[in-house]
Structure 1
């Protein structure tokens, strides 16, 4: 059985997709080992690494699964499918969660039975020290501001988010898991946010690398993929249509997550 909100001991799975990022993954797994509330399961989804990523994960006691379909969308979705935890948390390999990250996420889900997903913020842990905080605020703020009109709600941030496994199971057939040109967290935002509530959880702190800004071409490609992720959901989620659907569904009332069979 899955623990209902309010029950004292929901189980937690952390999913981390990885490809050729052994050094950063080792740091991330060390941070997870120092959690005040440790995850019950850590799933590393190896998306065709040629380095020691799988070995590093195994040495840290994580469960390693291979994803032969290329792309972070496929790797992430496979991890979510295989997760056993009542709550599924997601990090990237270059993330450094604070020691209370898992505990804060679990407490938030227990206190908010009508919320299906929480998304946290981030701080940069490398790059010019004086620019770390303002750049992180601009980066995440711009992402949220740009995506809110398209979604009608807050977007999920893939480097720091969590959701109920029951919610994932209800929408997993709709995500674009084989499209390598989409942002998987934004795609998931479309499908989870259509039916469930997504909320911000600032106290769930995670550090991340400034690598997305290091390569102009790579950053431009990320922006282009963001626009493509939006457009691929049209016309069924064209903003006026989506907003109308959300208003209608929210008048019915929020869904509460109760005990259901595995």
Structure 2
């Protein structure tokens, strides 16, 4: 039997982006078995857009990507084999879900698969810096520190067993940390985390085009490591032994 793949999309007041994202998922060569949209206390048409595309709609009143994403993962874990994740401004390529299915089917040891970004709504320079410096640089430094690739929240999938192991360890209720970095910090090498450079995801460059937005995201990296420092510190020490 093919694995059951459920895509989770946390969304707050992003109805227009969400509509384009769900349209891209509708055009997949291998459709997801279910798409879950977690409406994170939105005041726009997010819920209407989700219903119009036939997505499962959840409501999470605690504002923050981690609370919303975790709510979606919990719901997906009840029926899925693979939990996939994109953001509302992601535009999955038509073969994205099919590639996820193939990768997990071919490698039983694979627990988490992630890839990079193709930034849109920006200049070529910003797109290059975003994919090679912001995402690529984070992948290199996190790899050196933790020994596993950085999980990119707009473009990854994990086996349900991985989520079940970390769901009560991550800081899922904290809206001030990067959910994907916090997830990465709590993963282990034997979780089978793999980065595929060809598995790229078009995403909006809106957080990168304004200095204030970029600085906020960088500061959240500091906050995330501060919140989860014991895990990161002890794992780094174990690698040096």
Q: Residues 44, 216 of structure 1: CA spacing in aligned structure 2 closer, same or farther, 3 A cutoff?
A: same
Segment drifting more, 62-71 vs 190-199: 190-199
Aligned to 1:256: none
* Contact 1:42 1:63 (8 Å CA) reproduced: yes
2:61 & 2:190 partners in 1: Cα distance?
A: 30
Alignment of 1:67-82 (within 5 A): 67-82=60-75
Q: Deviation above 3 Å: which 4+ runs of structure 1?
A: 243-248
Aligned to 2:41: 48
Listed as ranges, the gaps of 5+ residues in structure 2 are none
Alignment of 1:129-168 (within 5 A): 129=124, 131-168=126-163
**1:234 aligned to which of 225, 229, 232:** 229
Alignment of 1:1-262 (within 5 A): 8-83=1-76, 84-129=79-124, 131-193=126-188, 195-238=190-233, 241-245=234-238
- Residue 52 of structure 1 deviates from its aligned partner by 0.2
Listed as ranges, the gaps of 5+ residues in structure 1 are 1-7, 249-262
Aligned to 1:253: none
Segment drifting more, 222-231 vs 137-146: 137-146
* TM-score of the pair, normalised by structure 1: 0.86
- Computed over aligned residues only, the root mean square deviation of the Cα atoms, in angstroms, reads 1.7
Q: Deviations over 1:165-191 (max 9, x none)?
A: 111112211110111110000111122
Segment drifting more, 92-101 vs 198-207: 198-207
1:16 & 1:217 partners in 2: Cα distance?
A: 25
- Residue 247 of structure 1 deviates from its aligned partner by 8.0
Q: What secondary structure, in the 3-state scheme, does the structure 1 residue paired with 2:187 have? A: helix
1:21 & 1:156 partners in 2: Cα distance?
A: 23
Q: What secondary structure, in the 3-state scheme, does the structure 2 residue paired with 1:212 have? A: coil
* Contact 1:104 1:203 (8 Å CA) reproduced: no
Segment drifting more, 30-39 vs 199-208: 199-208
Q: What secondary structure, in the 3-state scheme, does the structure 2 residue paired with 1:199 have? A: strand
